Structure 1
Amino acid sequence: MSQYPGQGYQGGYGAPPPQQGWNQPPPGQYGQPPPNQWGQPPSQGYPPPQQGQYPPPQQGQYPPPQQWGGSPAPPNAYGAPPPNAYGAAPPQQPGYGAPPPQQQGWGAPPPGAPGYPPQQPQYGAPSPQPGYGAPPPQPYGAPPAHSGPPTQPSLGYGPMQTANIDVTRDIEAIRKAMKGFGTDEKALITVMSKKDPIQMNTIRTQFDQRLMRNLIADLEKETSGYFEKGLVQIARGPLAGDCWTLYTAMKGLGTKEAALDDVLVGRSNADINAIKTEYQRIFKKSLEADLRGDLSAGTEQMYMMIASARRAEDSAPVIPQQIEADVTELNRSIGSIVTKNSSQVCDLLISRNDAQLRAIAQAYQTRFRTSLLKAIKDKFSGHMEDALVLLIARAVNRPEAEAERLEDAMSGLGTKDDLLVQRVVRCHWDQGFMRQVSDAYKRKYGKSLVKRIEGETRGDYEKLMVACVQ
């Protein structure tokens, strides 16, 4: 079981990629903000992972203690980002710390609000590696003021994709499951369903190198249907998986807007930049060019803003004067169906971080006695409405937003299996976040997410989805 945030989503991935169970750190540790910080969720925040460099395996020792089979990787694993990564609030330092005491309370939910998310595993800053650097000059103006230090990339999106860990047993188990007559589907599920991004990328890379084969091609040959799609989505890892989801959403006639929203809405600058770089590497063309080719008018402009990766970093503070100005501007720009300024609404909301969006939503409710979500739903429609609603929903309560996305894939006549596979796999990269999504689903719909999936899927496809959720 991975101890690191994944989707997010966050994507979410959310939600936007910390220790098993997301245990609550003592006050003041891990860069946690003080109580009632502006725009800050209650105290059950995600602690950041304590990571260093995974030690090389010793001769004859496999696997390392407490790593495989869904157990959390040991502390100081994989050489991942330093403390305050993956959504933990930064230390309270002059220039971007907490506002003065008299400004407390903005954007914070009611004390003890059920299901309110911790500070989310947002997708972090561009890595120092070539290809993950600062974005080129963008057409949508300067980044928001007080943007703060960059957020670290999600696990699997930074420069380090693999680790020096012994995956011999997993490689042999996967090869054995597909070798010869028939396929051992149960073995594939057991090996692949609980790996974190670094483990899975290491397995795929070494499988291809050691056996002179291609894991993705072997899975496509030996399995079929949505079971195959789920295994392939896992084998690709979160970054390449996101790129393929975007590509298939825009391939052929029509555009699968929900898949675009799943991957890109509410992501941090670093993960957007990583996705753009990997998309270019895989498909030899830019993500922006494909988005322009499939979208038009306001939605095209909105997605160019998202792809520009100029969102305020998670460390940027919530400044009350700015929140009040944002609420005034939003109310003016939302206006009426005739007078609304869609571009201004999109630019403002897309450029704010989650804490700022929570504060804006709270202040909007207080001032106008109606929710910001309702105002957007009343005045917008179609894909732009869906994307803006998801952006705010993920900022306010990311686990619940992902639970709603999962239910949407299963509700109505027939199951939207492609979306269900993508959404389950995206959440499963961080098992702690997956549990939060399951809990949020139970609270909102009064039923178990596992039981719901079992009622909508069959066979090995069902078993793989359930293994990812549990």
Structure 2
Amino acid sequence: MSYPGYPPAGGSYPYQQAPEGYPPQPGAYPPQGGFYPPQPGAYPPGAGYPPQAGGYPAAPGGGFPPQAGGYPGAYPNMPPAGQSGGWSGQPGFGAPGGGMPQGYPGVPAPGQQPMPGYPGAPNPTVPGYGGGVPTGPTAPVAPTVNKGFRGSIKDFPGADPLRDVEVLRKAMKGFGTDENAIIELLGTRSNKQRVPLKAAYKTTYGKDLVSDLKSELKGDFEDLVLAMLKTPAHFDASELREAIAGAGTDEACLIEILSSRSNAEIQEINRVYKAEYGKSLEDAISGDTSGHFRRLLISLSQGNRDEKETVDMSLAKQEAQKLYAAGENKVGTDESQFNAILCARSKPHLRQVFHEYQQMCGKDIEKSICSEMSGNVESGMVAVVKCIKNTAAYFAERLHKAMQGVGTKDRTLIRIMVSRSEVDMLDIRQEYLRLYGKSLYTAISGDTSGDYKKLLLKLCGGSD
């Protein structure tokens, strides 16, 4: 879904405080002087505060609000807060009554002792998580935050699926196919406007839209069109399935999807994968990978990363020291320590950890990983670090590599252009220009051709 000014920059909470103060809950205490927190004498609050169980505020459809780097809009069919499948329904993940998650999975609430055996659990004397936001010279270099909607494809005003399928039917009926009509229509509709076209087409004509398109189109253009007619979760699930079950394992695809999606998105991917392919994503990963790379993928596939924006400076320093002790300052490498920190902590917290690591040992965390690890686990860990540091730059690099050299990795090109077109395509374009000195639009124009190129350029949205 595309709303003006959405998704929120930096993963911040999509809530703007009204000028008159904190909006009262039903039955809650009257706000004092229109401000929040209440003035002395207004506390303890009356019945009705804190907000109702299930977290605050609930996203449309009951799903968690998307985080930075995820698809806009709540996923369809996400379970209501407080039921299984979401944060608030998991034991130990939320406050009593289903409030917002406290810390990363398994970490006790402030004032409690750490759970025994949890890797890297903080000492009871360490300040609780969220003890402060990095400021001043100790703050890491975070990616530029661009506010407002950063996708290249928006809702088309007044789009009507019944009129749209009439255009598609006319484009495919009779002798020849009007590819330009298909490009113009699909290239100007958002995902939530494209997906219903399948049902509208069958209702109107009694035929399957996907089957008709397959019979009329071919090659990369066909693959791109069909990808655009899937929901984000179905598209990701199908890409993961192909990466696992296809000829050889596409490890880079597995890491790309699992390291860049939000918790709610990953949980929805898991649900769709099981429904579509009859086995869990975790089982599929376990059967096709091994060793520490398998453990990295399984950790990421849980969709349980902490997603708070606050950073505990003391804990960030401790975890930078733990990573140093597990790698550079050790004979051999303790990959499990890297796994525990990189897969559970929030992105803002990890950016601070990477900064502290650089300050402490004078070496970038990526270079340490490359010198300490090898093979798939090395490339996987490096990809996770890059995605956490700057998601848009990570995707710009992936696109560049897909179009570099002999032949184009079209599957990667299609996946990124479709999946990021309503998320952060404008940021990816900026990073591409900064990193490679030419616009993404120019790169696509020079590396693709025909109708395939035309529709990709629609997703790109323009030149820089």
Q: TM-score, normalised by structure 2?
A: 0.69
Aligned to 1:451: 442
Give the % identical residues: 29
Residues 387 and 201 (structure 1 numbering): CA distance in 2 closer, same or farther, change over 3 Å?
A: same
Q: Quote how far apart the aligned CAs of 1:85 are.
A: 3.7
Higher relative contact order (CA 8 A, sep 6+): 1
Aligned to 1:400: 393
Partner SS, residue 3 of structure 1 = coil
Distance 1:383 1:83 in 2: 33
1:90-122 per-position Cα deviation (integer Å, ceiling 9, x unaligned): xxxxxxxxxxxxxxxxxxxxxxxxxxxxx5447
Aligned to 1:350: 343
Select which of 414, 422, 425 maps to 2:415. Answer: 422
Q: Quote how far apart the aligned CAs of 1:198 are.
A: 1.7
Aligned to 1:182: 176
Aligned to 2:402: 409
Contact 2:63 2:86 in 1 (8 A): no
Select which of 319, 325, 345 maps to 1:326. Answer: 319
Partner SS, residue 332 of structure 1 = helix
Structure 2: which 5+ runs fail to align?
18-58, 93-103, 110-128, 131-148, 150-157
Residues 127 and 143 (structure 1 numbering): CA distance in 2 closer, same or farther, change over 3 Å?
A: farther
Q: Quote how far apart the aligned CAs of 1:207 are.
A: 2.5
1:226-280 per-position Cα deviation (integer Å, ceiling 9, x unaligned): 0001001101121111111011111243101111122111322211110000011
Matched AA of 1:329 = K
Select which of 196, 210, 213 maps to 2:190. Answer: 196
Equivalenced residue count is 356
Q: Quote how far apart the aligned CAs of 1:223 are.
A: 0.6
Contact 1:131 1:274 in 2 (8 A): no
Matches within 5 A, 1:145-184: 166-184=160-178
Matched AA of 1:436 = D
Q: TM-score, normalised by structure 1?
A: 0.68
Q: Quote how far apart the aligned CAs of 1:131 are.
A: 7.1
Select which of 190, 201, 215 maps to 1:207. Answer: 201
Q: Quote how far apart the aligned CAs of 1:80 are.
A: 4.0
Matched AA of 2:374 = S
Aligned to 1:219: 213
Distance 2:197 2:179 in 1: 18
Aligned to 1:268: 262
1:283 and 2:277 aligned: yes
Residues 289 and 136 (structure 1 numbering): CA distance in 2 closer, same or farther, change over 3 Å?
A: farther
Aligned to 1:305: 299
Distance 2:194 2:285 in 1: 29
Q: Quote how far apart the aligned CAs of 1:429 are.
A: 2.8
1:30 and 2:24 aligned: no
Aligned to 2:2: 3
Partner SS, residue 247 of structure 2 = coil
Aligned to 1:19: 5
Q: Quote how far apart the aligned CAs of 1:385 are.
A: 1.9
Matches within 5 A, 1:359-438: 359-430=352-423, 433-438=424-429
Matched AA of 1:400 = A
Aligned to 1:249: 243
Select which of 223, 229, 237 maps to 2:223. Answer: 229
Partner SS, residue 260 of structure 2 = coil
Distance 2:7 2:280 in 1: 38
Larger Rg: 2
Distance 1:82 1:252 in 2: 34
1:128 and 2:80 aligned: yes
Contact 1:193 1:468 in 2 (8 A): yes
Aligned to 2:452: 461
Matched AA of 1:453 = I
